[in-house]
């Protein structure tokens, strides 16, 4: 599986809270057969004590699929990794990059960049407990840390602990004074530093993340890196990033245009509705499918206004068909 995941990780879609749920991943997988997908972050205690079916269930079509865990207690993370691997995930990823307030209180996410020995202990315990690969997502540093110093030292610690695939968000996290959203936008990107890490650690599989907004941008980074992780651009402009992504593996993408993809989603949406799901749960992840294309505004309006009002399967499908009509109308 290692080689297959190395290949899949040429392009991955970042774990994003409230966004990369099952419905979102099913849609992304329809657009790209090859990209590596990640769950939303789940905390280790939630995996151990929570409703596992609700937290961990996925559709078999979502593979290759990684589970991202949050936590900082080695025994807990090891148990959560063991459970996740048993659930069939292809990879277990430790979050050392998320700057959210929710996360600092529990001591996980980016604050762990200040405690590399603890992270090393965590990943070593996870590796010992998990039959599938354990990976790390980190920042280039936090607060007053000097990235040129802390990042290579951190990567070296991870390598010594047995990790061989790491995704680096090319920004610092400021743990005080910036919101999680600001932490994705305000700290400056340092791509050259991340590219230098690949030269310094040729034996590691390294992906770059942060601010990459086009497939051309992905290709440019792949000149220097093993992989690229895209977050918000993949979510807001799924066709632009994922619709043609399979060309990165020299494969023909599943659809030639986003209208085909939208039509292919219809039976999936009907199945979701038949199981008692709501239209909005799927279509909220699809609002950007026609980004920058004719009919995009009408598509978005029909779905955002109609999806929550639809009360039964027939009215929900009628809303979806009205949205489709907006993008199929002759320009």
pLDDT in tens, 253-262: 999 999 999 9
Tokens at residue 200, please? 């310094």
Task: State which H helix or E strand residue 34 sits in.
Answer: none
Q: How many CB atoms lie within 10 A of CB 287?
A: 19
Q: What is the rounded distance in angstroms from the CA atom of residue 226 to the CA atom of residue 133?
A: 17
DSSP structure string for 138-205: EEEEETT--HHHHHHHHHHHHHHHT--EEEEEEEEE-SSS--HHHHTTSSPP-HHHHHHHHHH-TTSE
pLDDT in tens, 167-210: 999 999 998 888 888 888 889 999 999 999 999 999 999 999 99
- pTM for the whole structure: 0.96
According to CATH, what is the number of the domain 2-246? 3.20.20.70
Q: Give 6's pLDDT tier (boundaries 50, 70, 90).
A: very high
Higher pLDDT pick, 4 / 77: 77
* DSSP 8-state secondary structure symbol assigned to residue 245: G
Does the pLDDT value for residue 105 go beyond 90? no
Could you list the active site residues?
Answer: 98
* Structure-token match 């405690």, residue found: 115
* Residue-wise burial string across 247-277, b where 16 or more C-beta atoms lie within 10 A, e elsewhere: ebeeeebbbeebbebbeebeebbeebbeeeb
CB 232 within 8 Å of CB 224: no
Name the residue ranges covered by the structural domains of the chain. Answer: 2-246, 258-328
- What pLDDT sits at residue 108? 75
Please tell me if the domain spanning 2-246 has the same topology as the one spanning 258-328: no
Q: Report whether CATH 1.20.120.1460 matches the domain 258-328.
A: yes
């Amino acid at each position: 599986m290692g080689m297959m995941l190395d290949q899949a990780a040429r392009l991955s879609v970042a774990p994003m809270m409230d966004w990369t749920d099952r419905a979102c991943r099913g849609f992304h997988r329809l657009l790209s057969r090859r990209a590596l997908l990640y769950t939303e972050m789940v905390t280790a205690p939630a995996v151990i004590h929570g409703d596992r079916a609700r937290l961990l269930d996925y559709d078999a079509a979502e593979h290759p699929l990684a589970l991202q865990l949050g936590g900082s207690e080695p025994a807990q993370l090891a148990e959560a990794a063991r459970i996740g691997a048993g659930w069939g995930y292809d990879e277990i990823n430790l979050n050392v990059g998320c700057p959210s307030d929710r996360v600092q209180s529990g001591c996980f996410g980016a604050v762990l960049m200040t405690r590399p020995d603890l992270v090393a202990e965590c990943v070593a315990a996870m590796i010992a407990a998990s039959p599938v690969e354990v990976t790390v997502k980190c920042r280039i540093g936090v607060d007053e840390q000097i990235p040129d110093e802390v990042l290579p030292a951190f990567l070296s610690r991870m390598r010594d602990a047995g990790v061989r695939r790491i995704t680096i968000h090319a920004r610092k996290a400021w743990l005080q004074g910036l919101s999680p959203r600001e932490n994705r936008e305000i700290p400056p990107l340092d791509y050259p530093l991340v590219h230098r890490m690949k030269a310094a650690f040729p034996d590691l599989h390294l992906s770059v993340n942060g601010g990459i907004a086009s497939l051309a941008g992905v290709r440019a980074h792949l000149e220097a890196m093993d992989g690229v992780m895209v977050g918000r651009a993949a979510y807001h402009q799924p066709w632009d990033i994922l619709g043609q992504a399979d060309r990165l593996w020299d494969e023909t993408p599943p659809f030639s245009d986003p209208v085909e993809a939208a039509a292919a989603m219809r039976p999936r949406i009907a199945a979701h509705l038949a199981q008692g799901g709501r239209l909005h749960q799927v279509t909220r992840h699809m609002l950007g499918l026609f980004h920058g294309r004719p009919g995009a505004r009408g598509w978005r309006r029909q779905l955002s206004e109609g999806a929550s009002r639809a009360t039964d399967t027939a009215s929900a499908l009628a809303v979806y068909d009205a949205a489709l009509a907006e993008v199929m109308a002759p320009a």
